[in-house]
Amino acid sequence: MKKIVLLAALLAGCGGKAVFGLSSSNDNDPQALAKALDLRQMSAAPKPIGGSARAYVVTSGKPRHLIAFDLAGEKAAWNVAADVQSRVAVGGDFVVAREGTDLVARSASDGAVRWKMPIDGQFVGAAADDKRAYVVTQTGTDQKPTWYLIALDGGSGKQLWRTPSTGQLGAPAAQGGLVMAPFLTQWLSILDGATGAQLTRVRSTDDEITFAMTTSDAAWFGSKRSVVRLDEKAATGARGTSTTGMAKIPAQLEKATYAPDGFDAVQAGYSASDRVRILWRADAKGDAWKWQGGGVAVHYFRYVLGLDESGAVRWAYSHPKVELVASAHTGAAIAAVSAGGEVIALDPATGAVRAHAQLDTGGAPVIGATFDADGWSPSGAGEPPSTVQALVAIARDRDARFEGVKELAVGTLAKLPGEQVTRDLLAMLADERTSAKLKETVIGVLASRDDPAGLPALIEALGVKSDVIAGTEPIAVGAVARAVGALAKQPLDEKQKAAAVDALIGQLRAPSTSVGDAVDVVHALAALGGAAAKAPLRTYLLVYRTDAEFAKADALVAATVDATLAAGADDRELVRFVADDARTQPAVADYAKKALAR
Amino acid sequence: MRIVRVVLGAALAAGFVAPAMAQAKAKPPAPPAAAKDAAAKSKVKPGPVGPLAAALVGGDVDAAAKAAASLGDDPSPAAHEALLDALSTGLAPKAAAPALESLAKHPAPADVAVLLVYAGHRDDDVRAAAVAALGAYPDPLAKKAGVAALGDDTEKVRAAAASAVAKGKWREGVDRLMALLDKGDAAAPPALAALADADLAHSIAEHLGNAPAATLAVTLGMILKRADFPEPAKLEVVRAIAKIPGAEATGALTDYLEATPEKPPRKSRAEAEKIVEARLAGGGAQ
């Protein structure tokens, strides 16, 4: 914010009648804003600006290629060599992007170059509406930069107007004859696309404006924190009184953004930031903000996670092998393209794959894509994905970048019932490639699952013995024992319960069980109760009470004595014997005496 | 101790130590047959065990350890019962290990339950003693535990398990011993050598390439040293050793030559001699 104030102070001395100035009589004017918005020529129903749903895909290689992929027909409309260096902006019958040092417009019908405009200075961003292209550039020096917002005729490339700004402009957005330009991250200037006249401005008083964007039914602006619908209420300048959406995003996905940052030069082109995106749609009308479909989705590299309004994961999709490099919410579908050229469409409510096509990229990796597919709804229904499998895939991904989202996946898995989930969690513990931090998370959630359906998997895990010949080793005995013990409160199948006790006894008797794990085993046996569980505890106490190493393990001594005492009157006699017998280690005897006195 | 046994009777009856103790307490156990035999043959006269039994369950661990060892020399049922009783109610590791060795000197079926508990003891010495002791018991559970202990994390315990398998002549342990052989585990050679017949020796020899050469040579060398191993099969063993490269193989054959008199002449010895001479002259594996 300090930066803005400083810039504002500098600009205040500039004077003049520049469109982009610090003071304006029509800042946050609801009537002016309503009037400006009414000027937009909008389609009655959501539809692509170019008429048919397309993905404009840029592939790497020398030369790069721009491919127009017809989503409904699942085939490329055209594929041309084009040195695309920016995002592709889609107009009515043309597309525009920076190619090399030029702004190049191509015909949407065949990809042929329609016109070129040399870019003077640095490209900041481009947008297009039905008839015109708009581009923001930066010229001058670092000490005295000037930004220009330039309008060009989509058909001829003729420059219609050019407006300078001594304050920083972000990438523009355009819609139905209006062009919107974020200014100094504090204003959103709204200009008449035909003349360049400023119609009004929104001045944000409590947050930055780092992007402006459009869907076919509304225009939006926002920041990393929130997204605001450009309606009359936006003229209040405050997020609280505007129609504002702030999706609840799990902390592990906090890098995800609503839209590319219009002030970030890197994000003027396709970049890694496109792989961490909040995919959302909100109602274009109505007093209150409402996420369509009851939530949002987050594209996170190979994964897409559907979130409900509380931020909880409601479905997960894991794309095989390669990352999804671009994605968009069309309203009826989540469209995405992978680095390998696969184009998919997911159901926003369930994550079901409703469409899947392979783009022929000639083997070249996809760099990025722009979707012009508003309202596109694939014909296929698709089967909802196995969220469990997807979450497991996420959790077991070996890419170190994903530690945070892996934790989220594990946490989400923990809330899902079923034996397989427990098995998958155990498999993560057994996998030596699972990071120590993630293992801690898995251990934490294992006991909290409280799902009797997982008991067979837990019993199986406890049944593994350390054996150098077989190469087996039990995993996380303590955590598994805790998970079993936690189930004691629930009604359990008697056979399974007996099997659980047997498995716990096996680990209690195993020399490989660490002292720490043994504490959990003792607690679990005590919790499960029953004669079968009590007897080995008595034996354990009798045999180990004489062992100096056991006596050093305070927690294990306490657990064993307490569990034995809790078993009944006969066991009290046993503890009394332990307390009094000369063979008993002093520390054990002391604890036994204190326990008896309680 | 009697008081303790009465007090603990009900509690112990439900534990997995219980079978032994319950049996011991229901009626004084009859002297095990093996103990009777041992008593008859022993030069040590059975004496009153009271002081030793008292020391065994006293607070002085060193005295308990000595008592445990001494009681093993006493073949009387009372000595055996004192050991079993003390182990059933818990002995410090230092005393438990000799007590287990002593117990197995005069094995009785009731011992197995106690041995199984100590075969899982956290102390390596105690566990090794218990596992080794299992070999004296022709009991399916003892066999199962002994064979399982071949996979113990601790070398000492694996060696004890191998000795138990050999002592008990548990063929069920052969596969796991072979696996240990392939790993070059020192526990494998003595047990495999003890268990080997001609077929097993042949199987062992076939592990050339899988098992470390040195371990394989040592194993086959140990078989050669067995006086009861048939001569024709020894010849095959010698030839198998001849295929093994390295000093250990030469050493195994040299040991065999040294341990075997020249007369009466044996084909296996003559073959071994030729091989050793060839190797010392610079020849390698054949």
Report H helices in B42-136. 50-56, 61-72, 77-89, 93-105, 111-118, 124-134
How much of chain A is in helix, strand and coil states, percent to nearest 5? 35, 30, 40
Task: Select from A466, A535, A544 the Cβ nearest to the Cβ of B15.
Answer: A535
Which of the residues in chain A have pLDDT under 50?
1-17
Closest CB from A469, A550, A573 relative to B180: A469
Rounded CA separation A404/A395 (Å): 10
CB A594 within 8 A of CB A575: no
User: b vs e for B126-164, b when ≥16 Cβ sit within 10 Å of the residue's Cβ?
Assistant: bbbbbbbbbbbbebeebbebbbbbbbbebebbbbbbbbb
Tell me the domain boundaries of chain A: 2-372, 416-597
Alpha-carbon distances of A500 from A87, A488, B17, B179, rounded to whole Å: 59, 10, 20, 31
pLDDT grade, residue B186 (50/70/90)? very high
Do the beta carbons of residue A366 and residue A338 sit within 8 Å? yes
Distance CA A236, CA A238 (A): 5
Flag if A531 and B14 touch (Cβ within 8 Å).
yes
CB-based contact (8 Å) between A374 and chain B?
no
Task: Judge whether A178 and A193 are in contact, CB under 8 Å.
Answer: yes
Give per-residue pLDDT as tens, B216-244. Answer: 999 999 999 999 999 999 999 999 999 99
Beta carbons of A535 and B14 less than 8 Å apart: yes
The pair of three-digit structure tokens given for residue A28, joined into one six-digit string: 């946050």
Q: Which chain A residue shows the shortest CA-CA distance from B123?
A: A511
The answer to whether residue B117 neighbours chain A at the CB level (below 8 Å) is yes
Dig out the tokens for B133 from the structure.
Answer: 């002791």
pLDDT given at position B233: 95
Nearest-10 crossing angle of helices B18-26, B2-13: 130
| pLDDT for B272 | 95
Q: ∠ CA A293-A391-A258 to the nearest 5 degrees?
A: 45
- State the count of interchain CB pairs (< 8 A) between A and B: 102
Scan for tokens 């202990």, then name that residue.
Answer: B149
Residue ranges of alpha helices (H) inside A163-212 are none
| CA separation for the pair A126, A173 (Å, rounded) | 8
Residue A583 and residue B64: Cβ atoms within 8 Å?
yes
> CA B240, CA B262: separation in Å to the nearest integer?
21
- Give which of A395, A393, A394, A390 is closest to A429, Cα–Cα: A395
Indicate whether B125 pLDDT > 90. Answer: yes
Give the per-residue pLDDT at A211: 98
Is B62 or A23 the better-scoring residue by pLDDT? B62
Element (H, E) at A424: helix A419-430
Residues 6+ apart with CB under 8 A from B43: none
**Residue A140 has what DSSP assignment?**
E
Which of A 506-565 lie inside 8 A of B, CB atoms?
A: 509-512, 531, 534-536, 538-539, 542-550
A580 in reach of chain B (CB within 8 A):
no
Tokens at B174, concatenated: 């052969």
pLDDT in tens, B64-111: 999 999 999 999 999 999 999 999 999 999 999 999 999 999 999 999
Of the residues A465, A521, A525, A539, the best mutation for testing chain B's interface (the one with the most B CB atoms within 10 Å of its CB) is A539
Grade residue B117 by pLDDT with cuts at 50, 70 and 90.
Answer: very high
Test mutation, B61, B89, B180, chain A, max A CBs within 10 A? B89
Please give the pLDDT value at position A431.
87
pLDDT, residue B45, reads 53
Q: Which of residues 151-190 of B touch A (CB under 8 A)?
A: 151-154, 158, 176, 179-180, 183
Using CB atoms, pick whichever of A539, A546, A550 lies closest to residue B117. A539
- The closest CB to that of B153, out of A468, A539, A550, belongs to A468
A560: helix, strand or coil: helix
Q: What's residue A505's pLDDT?
A: 95
d(CA B134, CA B145): 8
| A445: amino acid identity, one letter | V
| Reported pTM | 0.75
Contacts of B90 in chain A (CB under 8 A): 542-546, 583-584
Identify the pLDDT of residue A404: 87
A394/B284 Cα distance (integer angstroms): 56
> B16, A468: Cβ pair inside 8 Å?
no
* Predicted confidence (pLDDT) at residue B36 exceeds the cutoff of 50: no
Residue contact B151–A466, C-beta within 8 A: yes
- Asked whether the beta carbons of B26 and B13 are under 8 A apart, the reply is no
3-state secondary structure of A190: strand
Q: What's the start-to-end Cα distance of chain B, in Å? A: 66
Q: Which CATH architecture has domain A2-372?
A: 7 Propeller (2.130)
Q: Interior CA angle at A86 toward A84 and A91, to 5°?
A: 90
Residue B28's pLDDT is: 34
Predicted pLDDT of residue A13: 36
Who contacts B38 (Cβ-Cβ below 8 Å, separation ≥6)? B75, B105, B106
Is it the case that residue B285 has pLDDT exceeding 70?
Answer: no
Q: b/e per residue, B200-236, with b = 16+ CB within 10 A?
A: bbeebbebbeebbbbbbbbbbbbbbeeeebeeebbbb
Taking CA–CA distances from B87, the nearest residue in chain A reads A543
- Say whether A543 and B17 touch across the interface (CB within 8 A): yes
Q: What is the pLDDT of residue B27?
A: 34
Q: Work out the mean pLDDT of chain B and round it to a whole number.
A: 86
Of B59, B93, B123, the CB nearest to A582: B59
CB nearest to B90's CB, from A467, A470, A583: A583
For domain A416-597, give the CATH number: 1.25.10.10
Task: Please give the C-alpha separations between residue A374 and each of A90, A338, B196, in angstroms, as whole numbers.
Answer: 12, 19, 79
* A268 vs A259: CA distance, rounded Å: 11
Which residue on chain A is closest to B158 by alpha carbon? A468
Q: Compare all CA atoms of chain A with the CA of B150 and give the residue at the minimum distance.
A: A469
Answer whether A100's CB lies under 8 Å from A117's CB: no
Q: Is B207 an 8 Å CB contact of chain A?
A: no
Residue of A542, A557, A580 to mutate, testing the B interface (most B Cβ within 10 Å of its Cβ) = A542
pLDDT band at B61 (very low <50, low <70, confident <90, very high): very high
Long-range own/partner contacts, residues A159-164 (CB < 8 A, 24 or more apart): A159/A117, A160/A132, A160/A194, A160/A196, A161/A195, A161/A196, A162/A196, A163/A18, A163/A19, A163/A20, A163/A191, A163/A196, A164/A18, A164/A20
Contact criterion met (CB < 8 Å) for B117 and A534: no
pLDDT confidence of residue A341? 97
CA-CA-CA-CA torsion for B14, B18, B21, B26, nearest 10 degrees? 50
> Which of residues 36 through 75 in chain B touch A, CB cutoff 8 A?
57-59, 64
Nearest to A539 among B7, B16, B93 (CB): B16
One-character DSSP codes across B256-281: HHHHS-SSS--HHHHHHHHHHHHHHT
